[in-house]
Copies of this chain bind each other. A is one copy, B any other.
Amino acid sequence: MPQDHEYGYFTEEDSADVVIARNANAKDERLKEIMAVLVRKLHEAVKEVEPTQEEWFRAILFLTETGQICNEWRQEYILLSDVLGVSMLVDAINNRKPSGASESTVLGPFHVDDAPELPMGADICLDQKGEPMFVHGHILDTKGNPVENAKIDVWQANDEGFYDVQQKGIQPDFNLRGVFRTGADGRYWFRGVKPKYYPIPDDGPVGKLLGALGRHPYRPAHLHYIITAEGFEPLTTHIFDPDDPYINSDAVFGVKKSLLAEFVKIDDAAAAKTVGLAAPYYDVEFDFVLARRKGA
């Protein structure tokens, strides 16, 4: 190690090495390793950008404001992570699936833990608002066998793009949420309403950043799922409406090609009757493939 590092004196050329050497006594090895990577990449970025003092200070203010707008129900740093693709990247790294298994996407902020368990086929739309939708498919393993007793936790925005928890007193509690369990055939089916795209909160620093980057704040229409079954890796994912105007520009990069469903409009009273809905309705068929738990 050159003498300057030992003395801890700063030079432009060795800047990252000087800082990393200073962290040598970190008690936690993992923290030390993480900080070494972050410091190196941060210094690389600064050297490539060559910010002016004013640009540096604007970055300081942006980071400060992003923290200051956070409160009990607003987490602007998660939004920042989302719009920079970091949340999806962390999700991808932590949910690498074997070939053939369904891909994951981000959980999002609107899951609730205590949604009611419902009989298969139930209508999760409690206020009869919106265009009716019939969702169905199978829970399978990677060999195509049905998964019995899989727990399907589903939630979705309504026809105006709002979740129940965003409209307490307007939507019924637990509107458009439900938990279902598969039988031996692995089939699932339930009724809901066609969801609509919605914006992430865009009245803060992250919204301003999106604006400056020429980006909109919208997420294309989707249904959320958490699917769990004994012996399998849990799957947290969405399915998306491929005809949504924002399907190619999800503000948080949640869309994956394999998660595009089809929302088929069916204007046939007899067909509607067989699924307990009024025509016209949307038929959405999607199979989920679970990966076996490693070592299970």
Contacts and interface: CB of A to CB of B under 8 A. Distances in A.
A241 to B, nearest CB: 14
A83 to B, nearest CB: 8
Interface in A66-102: 66-68, 70, 75-78, 81, 84-94, 96
Contacts of A6: 248
Interface string A127-146: 00000000000000000000
Q: Provide the main secondary structure of the chain A interface.
A: helix
Contact of A23 (B25, B32, B213, B255): B213
Interface string A1-42: 000101111111001101100111111100111110111011
A44 B33 CA distance: 14
Contact of A26 (B67, B212, B248): B212
Contacts of A42: 41, 45, 84, 86
A65 to B, nearest CB: 7
A166 interface: no
A25 B90 contact: no
B253 A8 contact: yes
A261 to B, nearest CB: 14
A165 B286 CA distance: 66
Given A64-B67, A67-B68, A10 B41 contact: no
A266 interface: no
A73 to B, nearest CB: 13
Nearest to A91: B53
A85 B12 contact: no
A215 to B, nearest CB: 6
A23 B56 CA distance: 20
A271 B47 CA distance: 49
A31 B212 contact: yes
A114 interface: no
A39 B257 contact: no
B77 A63 contact: yes
Given A10-B253, A56-B90, 9 more contacts: A6-B248, A8-B255, A10-B255, A12-B92, A15-B89, A19-B253, A37-B45, A46-B90, A52-B94
9 contacts: A7-B257, A8-B248, A10-B253, A11-B92, A42-B45, A43-B86, A43-B89, A63-B77, A64-B76
Q: Which 4 A-B pairs have the closest CB atoms?
A: A67-B67, A25-B214, A19-B85, A12-B92
